[in-house]
Amino acid sequence: MDTYAVSLSLTGNACSETILLSQADPQQPHNPLDTPPPDVVLYATTPETNPRYDVNTTISSSSTNDGLPEGWFAYTHPEGLVFYVNTVLKVVTDALITDVTVLRELGEALEIIGELKDELKDPLPNDYEIYLRRCTPENWQYYMVDHDTCTEFWAQDLTADQLDLPHAVSVNHMGHLLGCHYWMHQEYFPHRPIPDHLRLELIQIIRYSLSDQLTAADGTLVGWSVSDCNQFLRLLSDESSRCDNVYIRCIIARLWSNIERHRYDHYFGLPCARLSRDQRRLGEPHRQENKVLKAFSILLFRLPERLEGELDGLFVDRVVYVIHWEKFASGMTEKWKHTTWMAFALLIANAGLISYSRTYSSMNCGLGSLGTSSCALFISQALLYKNEGMTEITANEAANYLGMLEHPLYGFLPAAVIASAPNALIAWSIILLTTEVCSLILEHIESKVALIIVVAVIIGSCVAVVISLHRNAILSMCREAQRDDVAAVV
């Protein structure tokens, strides 16, 4: 498989990312860098791998800002984390530079980067910045950002695999991902003012996204809900947002980071841009047919196949929208809760009727209804317990969850069989209960009229069950028919 190498491309004083569309040299050395000093090893990284929210740090008396080295300034992030900036060296770090050992290691890491910069054929951009992070003693990571072009770069040629970057189809496509990383850096280290024209552009993007959500349910511009867009507009359009401060910088940077990531996911600016969330750009997933699963689907009134289609629609090209996921998850939760109460009511009804059975037919129908309603109750409760809180997860968490549900060979059908089983079992329980009631009527009333009534009740119950299971499809067909009639009249 071809891999993409990300390198520094310089034109005059402007810096932009370049992807070498060629087979990566198998002999190319991996990180760490080729010639590190003996005491410090330097690795390239990205802001996306920053473990700031995952690291457990023990408080010690040395964790203070006393005695900053000359040329260094301390800043505090709105969330409380302290970071340090040296405008002369153009360095930002969250390592504790008040520690002499840490400061010495940082100097050695800068020497390595200096040697790499000297080897570059073109000059560095005018307004660049280096981020350095201390992973472990004598092990450091770095990346560089260009504030003029709002992008990320490195002082060496690296493949996308070495940086753990996802696939890109072009230079512009990779540019959105590196732009996302740049704004993550700005969010983590908001010590620089953000030009106001970027705030104004952000407002226009959100306004368009708001109109897109109001007029098209499957738009791909940003993926925020109407409520989210309105709240963001109030934050950015408020008079206080025009005053540059650390809080506004973090808000703007986080929103721009989301937008750039969204543009990367949907091939923004490319001929193959995804304009609707149901458009596939990576091809149809290859699925194998399983006869056992198909048989289960038929027994469950083909509800699993319909649910499989909904799950496929949510996870097109492995991209998930929070607004559509929340709607789906809340709908499934309500169905399982409704099934629980229905199963409980059917259990009570069966318990009362089964004692009146005189023949094997009514007894077997009663036991069948009792068994199916019990299974529906158990499965629905298990699904509610397993999926508790699923309506409140993020898009990344939803994507990871759907990726876990998707079978590599059979897709979402196995999961759909389990998820739709409670509704189908309730339907079977109702059919069997109706048959049991009709059998009891025949056992106690010997009349042709009673027989006709029983047959009518059975047919009516079956029709009602089919309509309830496929009401959405039936309503959709009716709407289509009405639109066709209107079109014919016009």
- Do 456 and 399 lie in one domain? The reply is yes
pLDDT of res. 4? 35
Provide the number of structural domains found in the chain: 3
Give the pLDDT mean for 79-106.
93
d(CA 103, CA 134): 10
Length of the chain in terms of residues written: 490
Q: How far apart are the first and last CA of the chain?
A: 56
- Do 28 and 142 lie in one domain? The reply is yes
- Do 259 and 317 lie in one domain? The reply is no
pLDDT tens per residue, range 262-312: 999 999 999 999 988 888 888 888 889 999 999 999 999 999 999 999 999
The DSSP line for 46-105 is -GGG--TTT------TT-S--SPPTT-EEEE-TTS-EEEEETTTTEEE-S-TTSHHHHHH
Which range of residues forms the domain containing residue 222? 196-265
Q: What is the CA radius of gyration of the chain?
A: 31
pLDDT tens per residue, range 167-197: 899 999 999 999 999 999 999 999 999 999 9
pLDDT of res. 26? 35
Q: Considering only the C-alpha atoms of the chain, give the largest distance between any 2 of them, rounded to a whole number of Å.
A: 104
d(CA 266, CA 173): 9
pLDDT of res. 457? 67
CA distances to 198, 325, 326, 337, 383 from 390, in Å: 35, 9, 8, 14, 11
For residue 451, is it within any domain? yes
For residue 344, is it within any domain? yes
d(CA 282, CA 308): 19
Report which of residues 12 and 290 the model is more confident about.
Answer: 290
Lowest mean pLDDT among 126-135, 360-369, 400-409, 466-475: 466-475
- Do 138 and 246 lie in one domain? The reply is no
> What number of CA atoms fall less than 13 Å from residue 401's CA on the CB side?
19
Report which of residues 179 and 2 the model is more confident about.
Answer: 179
Confidence of residue 321 (pLDDT cuts 50, 70, 90): confident
For residue 285, is it within any domain? no
pLDDT of res. 480? 60
Q: Is residue 268 within 8 Å of residue 211, measured between CB atoms? A: no
- Do 253 and 205 lie in one domain? The reply is yes
- Do 249 and 308 lie in one domain? The reply is no
Q: What is the pTM of this model?
A: 0.76
pLDDT beyond 90 at 402? yes
- Do 351 and 385 lie in one domain? The reply is yes
Phi, psi angle pair for 149, to nearest 5°? -105, 0
Confidence of residue 25 (pLDDT cuts 50, 70, 90): very low
d(CA 112, CA 37): 7
- Do 313 and 392 lie in one domain? The reply is yes
Confidence of residue 452 (pLDDT cuts 50, 70, 90): low
Of 156, 172, 188, the domain-final residue: 172
pLDDT beyond 90 at 259? yes
Handedness of CA 152, 157, 161, 163 (dihedral sign): negative
- Do 408 and 441 lie in one domain? The reply is yes
Report which of residues 238 and 166 the model is more confident about.
Answer: 166
Question: Mean pLDDT over all residues of the chain?
Answer: 82
pLDDT of res. 237? 83
For residue 182, is it within any domain? no
**Percentage of the chain with pLDDT > 70?**
80
d(CA 4, CA 23): 7
- Do 251 and 339 lie in one domain? The reply is no
For residue 459, is it within any domain? yes
For residue 256, is it within any domain? yes
- Do 357 and 224 lie in one domain? The reply is no
- Do 168 and 202 lie in one domain? The reply is no
DSSP state of 490: -
Q: Is residue 122 within 8 Å of residue 18, measured between CB atoms? A: no
For residue 24, is it within any domain? yes
For residue 419, is it within any domain? yes
Report which of residues 389 and 4 the model is more confident about.
Answer: 389
Of 248, 265, 282, the domain-final residue: 265
Phi, psi angle pair for 457, to nearest 5°? -65, -40
pLDDT tens per residue, range 287-298: 899 999 999 999
